[in-house]
Structure 1
Amino acid sequence: MKIGILHQYSLYGSGSSVYARDMTKYLARLGHEVHLISLEPHPENYDFFDAAYIHRDDGSQILFSRTQPPSCTSHTLAYRPVPVAYDRIDLPETKHFVALSDFEIEDYVTFFLDKVKILAERHTFDVIHAHHTVLPPYVARLVKKELGIPYVVTIHGSIIEYVVLRDARYKHYATEGLRGAGSIVVLNQDVRARVLKICPDIEPSLAQIPVGVDGDTFHPLPIERRPAVVNRLIQHLDARKKLGKTAQLQRQTWQAVKSIGEEEMAVAAFDLQSRYNASYPDADLPHKLAQIDWQKDNVLIYFGKLLFDKGVHCLIAALPNIMAAAPNTKLLIIGSGMDREFFEIGVAALDQGRLDCFRQAMQAGMAGRKEHATFYKYMTRFLESIDQAAYAARARGRMLQNIIFTGYMTRADLAALLPCARVALVPSIIKEAFPLVSIESLACGVIPMASYFSGLAPVLEEVAAALGAPGELAKIGHSPETMVRDLSQNVPALLSILSNRSTAKEISAICRKLIEQKYRWRAVISEVEGLYRALGA
């Protein structure tokens, strides 16, 4: 089959990007001719592409050709500013969908449509697979109307929450794009319910197919092998020429805790953020990783965007309590995002026992964002409800050495670290469609402790059914009111269970078995191929 895949972002920086990227790779491996149309600025970084082109207003240019004829081709659309659902560091010159004028929306659709039509005709696509709720499905519908090419849509949650439900203009684009699809893939029952609220009459077109995981890349790692694997990663990181935040900038971020007032703190944070490339690992990451005892320390890993929406501030707030119960705990915060500096300033404030400055850092980061008001109100109530002297004593002098910010890391880097964790943490406060890190953790034999709602709930229910009591501990409340409390209690309790090596080994094997039964890409792709064939492709 000749398949055109439409994705309106780059190929890293979000779960939907990884999903579109892996789908492309596995379809090509099965012998299909695949054309991925996206905004990826560096297709040369992906070895599964045989060729790559960039398409501008004034024409197209080949970037490279590795194999002829190509079975997997990248097509980068050079459009600026890039419409995004939320702030993304992986794409330059972005503008939120909800901030676009009517003219800008139509201009973007026209550009996207013109390029997809040309490519669909040139390469004679049999089927198009569009990702997200807007705007690729709408473009695919227009292509279908002119060229008769059927299309499939995969729904990802972020566009629904950040765009369609916040800006009535996109309801039209969403419903038109979805109604024309031959099949619509929903990742679970939660995504199904959300999309039906937008467009109830598409129910007959829905097909529930879960996210796939690369089980060859993500796999368990015996505890005795972990130091050697991390040492290889350290050597690999040392050899890289492109690096992100330096140790000097890190120290300057910590010093921003001395700022007077929220406005001054925010100015300092945004200035620091502008002085490094957040698309790369921290320059001193090898040194940071070398300080961890990968056999004895209780390593907790958060991997994802560094945003308040993802509950990172709740992890930070819970850590003094976790360390009091489990002293050898290290928290790795892996990723990049617009709120990183505010989190780091907050960590520095807690390290000094300055709860007033911690609260100030959180407020400075959330300022001007109406949807974050409840986050801040809870943080204030949390700090007012505790024994502040005892809490400050638990945090003082321990936060900076036990919370490690790594900067952005690739999925391959993550695959070296994730199986070394005792617990993976997914404390999202907002609705998630199906966070990929939850099943990547299971593939590594690691329990994901996550917010028990939305798209995370089905995975947590499977974990609880398979593991019993340890699996129940993986469920944490999704509201700020309950998350810090649950993390403070459940993480030490689960670490205590996992301290028994034979029990930990048994739990790891059960986690991996869950993946083998349902989430391997070979099974997911087989179902997707069935949808294509049903449309006559």
Structure 2
Amino acid sequence: MRKIMIFSNMYPSAEHPTYGIFVKNQVRLLESAGVEVDVVAIQDPGKGRKAALKKYMTWCGRAVWQMIKNRKVIALTHAHYAFPTGVLSLVGKKVFGIPYVVTVHGGDIDQMAAKSQRIADMTKRILQQAEAVIVVGDKLHADVTTRFGVPEAKVHVMSMGVDTSVFKEVPKAEARKQLGLPIEEKIMLYVGNVIRAKGLLELVEAFDSLKMSLPDSRLYIVGSQKDDAFAGELRSFIQENDVEDIFFKEPLSQSDLALWMAASDTLVLPSHHEGFGLVALEAMAAGTTVVGTDVGGLSYLLKDGAGFLVEPENPASLATGLWNAIGENAEGIDDTVVRERVTANSFETILANLLSIYRSAGKGRVARDE
């Protein structure tokens, strides 16, 4: 297979090791299969109008230059996020005749395309002119085909995948010993950005309501606090309501995160909207019960007894779900369904599907003499 060029507006760096880590994981997966990959990405999550303009202009310039230099050997480009990243792939197709694939992750459809009609129209153009569109959840499939008019034959439902060599079951006592956590307490874990749309205010309220029944319980919130205003509001909310045993942690490496998941009684993801919910899948692979809101990809991941689905933006429903998962009379989950979901989204399965999409999308440009 000839060279694949990956465009992404999120990609890890030494300073920000978890920023777009799911894209880097997929790049490594492709490289492990012998695929030559070039990455042109933004690695700085910093905000601010002036800084954002500079980094995006630099990124666009690098992308165009790389396509000019490599236009004869690029099989296709793969854009992560329809807008703005897909603009680069669209330019590559129009100017250099390079076919492209685009992965829709959720925010690019649910939020970015809703900002203006101009962005919505550009998103539609990007999606319709792609050789293939990958969506990370069933709801996104419906959105792409109905709202943006992309033919179903071009749309593929495929998550970013879970590395089961990293996210795997470890005996809870052993994991807690390694992390220095108490064996007897109930530990709830949230992993993700500390932003309002992740439902953290509702999570704190739900956790507080459970403390009477589960006095020996802790809540760990692991993630980037890049929204300073909301992070301050959340901490004030915790203090004003005198909620104890809530601990904040900075983003963790994947190996450390896998151990934290294995050590926890439940992973809770109370999002208001969610493209797929990769951390939920990772927790399932680590053998941890997941409680999540009935939105986006979580609706699929946790249905049929694979986890506990609760109403979004509803602290009472969230508290009930957490109680069902880890309370005195905790309900069980269907381990067979969990294993099926994990296997369907394992790196091995994802790689096979992705290479098939590339071959079809790139046609003669992808194939090489072997």
- Interval containing the TM-score (normalised by the shorter chain): 0.7 to 0.9
- Does the C-alpha gap of structure 1 residues 490 and 198 become closer, same or farther in structure 2, counting only changes over 3 Å? closer
Helix, strand or coil at the partner of 2:64? helix
Question: C-alpha offsets along residues 367-390 of structure 1, whole Å, 9 cap, x if unaligned?
Answer: xxxxxxxxxxxxxxxxxxxxxxxx
Amino acid corresponding to residue 301 of structure 1 in structure 2: L
Larger displacement relative to structure 2 (106-115 or 149-158): 106-115
Show the counterpart of 1:424: 267
Cα distance between partner residues in 2 of 1:14 and 1:486: 34
Amino acid corresponding to residue 98 of structure 2 in structure 1: I
Between structures 1 and 2, the one with greater helix share? 1
Larger displacement relative to structure 2 (321-330 or 108-117): 108-117
- Does the C-alpha gap of structure 1 residues 26 and 113 become closer, same or farther in structure 2, counting only changes over 3 Å? closer
Helix, strand or coil at the partner of 2:71? helix
Q: 2:348 aligns with which of 504, 509, 522?
A: 522
Helix, strand or coil at the partner of 1:324? coil
Show the counterpart of 1:228: 177
Show the counterpart of 2:42: 39
Show the counterpart of 1:490: 321
- Displacement after TM superposition at 1:512 (Å): 5.4
Show the counterpart of 1:194: 143
Question: C-alpha offsets along residues 49-94 of structure 1, whole Å, 9 cap, x if unaligned?
Answer: xxxxxxxxxxxxxxxxxxxxxxxxxxxxxxxxxxxxxxxxxx2244
- Does the C-alpha gap of structure 1 residues 446 and 106 become closer, same or farther in structure 2, counting only changes over 3 Å? closer
Cα distance between partner residues in 1 of 2:144 and 2:17: 20
Contact persistence 2:77–2:89 (CA under 8 A): yes
Amino acid corresponding to residue 10 of structure 1 in structure 2: Y
Show the counterpart of 1:331: 219
Contact persistence 1:446–1:508 (CA under 8 A): no
Q: 2:187 aligns with which of 299, 302, 311?
A: 299
Show the counterpart of 2:233: 342
Cα distance between partner residues in 2 of 1:424 and 1:348: 23
After superposition, the CA RMSD in angstroms is 2.8
Q: 1:458 aligns with which of 294, 297, 300?
A: 300
Cα distance between partner residues in 2 of 1:22 and 1:533: 20
Which 5+ residue runs of structure 2 have no aligned equivalent? none
2:319 matches 1:476: no
Cα distance between partner residues in 2 of 1:311 and 1:417: 21
- TM alignment of 1:232-271, pairs within 5 A: none
- Does the C-alpha gap of structure 1 residues 110 and 422 become closer, same or farther in structure 2, counting only changes over 3 Å? closer
Question: C-alpha offsets along residues 487-517 of structure 1, whole Å, 9 cap, x if unaligned?
Answer: 2222123213677xxx97xx59547523443
Question: C-alpha offsets along residues 135-188 of structure 1, whole Å, 9 cap, x if unaligned?
Answer: 222221221222222111111111222211121121232122222211111122
2:68 matches 1:118: yes
Q: 2:26 aligns with which of 23, 28, 31?
A: 23
Q: How many residues align?
A: 357
- Does the C-alpha gap of structure 1 residues 460 and 16 become closer, same or farther in structure 2, counting only changes over 3 Å? farther
2:112 matches 1:163: yes
Contact persistence 2:8–2:42 (CA under 8 A): yes
Contact persistence 2:162–2:342 (CA under 8 A): no
- Displacement after TM superposition at 1:105 (Å): 12
TM-score for both structures, normalised by structure 1: 0.61
Cα distance between partner residues in 1 of 2:56 and 2:91: 13
- Does the C-alpha gap of structure 1 residues 181 and 348 become closer, same or farther in structure 2, counting only changes over 3 Å? same
Amino acid corresponding to residue 92 of structure 1 in structure 2: G
- Does the C-alpha gap of structure 1 residues 514 and 323 become closer, same or farther in structure 2, counting only changes over 3 Å? farther
Show the counterpart of 1:45: none
Larger displacement relative to structure 2 (27-36 or 146-155): 146-155
Contact persistence 1:15–1:435 (CA under 8 A): no
Contact persistence 1:335–1:408 (CA under 8 A): yes
Show the counterpart of 2:127: 178
- Displacement after TM superposition at 1:29 (Å): 0.4
- Displacement after TM superposition at 1:31 (Å): 0.7
Helix, strand or coil at the partner of 2:74? coil
Contact persistence 1:112–1:139 (CA under 8 A): no
Which 5+ residue runs of structure 1 have no aligned equivalent? 42-90, 231-289, 352-398
Amino acid corresponding to residue 171 of structure 1 in structure 2: A
Helix, strand or coil at the partner of 1:200? coil
Show the counterpart of 2:161: 212
Contact persistence 1:153–1:178 (CA under 8 A): yes
Cα distance between partner residues in 2 of 1:424 and 1:110: 38
Contact persistence 2:144–2:150 (CA under 8 A): no
Show the counterpart of 2:287: 445
Cα distance between partner residues in 2 of 1:517 and 1:118: 40
Show the counterpart of 1:310: 198
Cα distance between partner residues in 1 of 2:34 and 2:104: 25
Helix, strand or coil at the partner of 1:127? strand
Cα distance between partner residues in 2 of 1:119 and 1:94: 32
Amino acid corresponding to residue 17 of structure 1 in structure 2: G
Question: C-alpha offsets along residues 1-29 of structure 1, whole Å, 9 cap, x if unaligned?
Answer: 21111101233779992321111000000
Cα distance between partner residues in 1 of 2:321 and 2:298: 17
Helix, strand or coil at the partner of 1:36? strand
- Does the C-alpha gap of structure 1 residues 496 and 510 become closer, same or farther in structure 2, counting only changes over 3 Å? farther
TM-score for both structures, normalised by structure 2: 0.87
Cα distance between partner residues in 1 of 2:9 and 2:249: 27
- Displacement after TM superposition at 1:113 (Å): 4.8
Amino acid corresponding to residue 158 of structure 1 in structure 2: G
Cα distance between partner residues in 1 of 2:292 and 2:103: 24
Amino acid corresponding to residue 120 of structure 1 in structure 2: N
Cα distance between partner residues in 1 of 2:49 and 2:23: 22
- Displacement after TM superposition at 1:300 (Å): 0.2
Amino acid corresponding to residue 36 of structure 2 in structure 1: E
2:252 matches 1:409: yes
Could you say which structure has the greater relative contact order, defined with CA pairs below 8 angstroms and 6 or more residues apart?
2
Larger displacement relative to structure 2 (216-225 or 519-528): 216-225
Cα distance between partner residues in 2 of 1:3 and 1:187: 20
Question: C-alpha offsets along residues 516-535 of structure 1, whole Å, 9 cap, x if unaligned?
Answer: 43110111111110011113
- Does the C-alpha gap of structure 1 residues 132 and 29 become closer, same or farther in structure 2, counting only changes over 3 Å? same
- Runs (4 or more) in structure 1 with deviation over 4 Å come to 12-16, 104-110, 507-512
Cα distance between partner residues in 2 of 1:198 and 1:111: 31
Contact persistence 1:178–1:202 (CA under 8 A): no
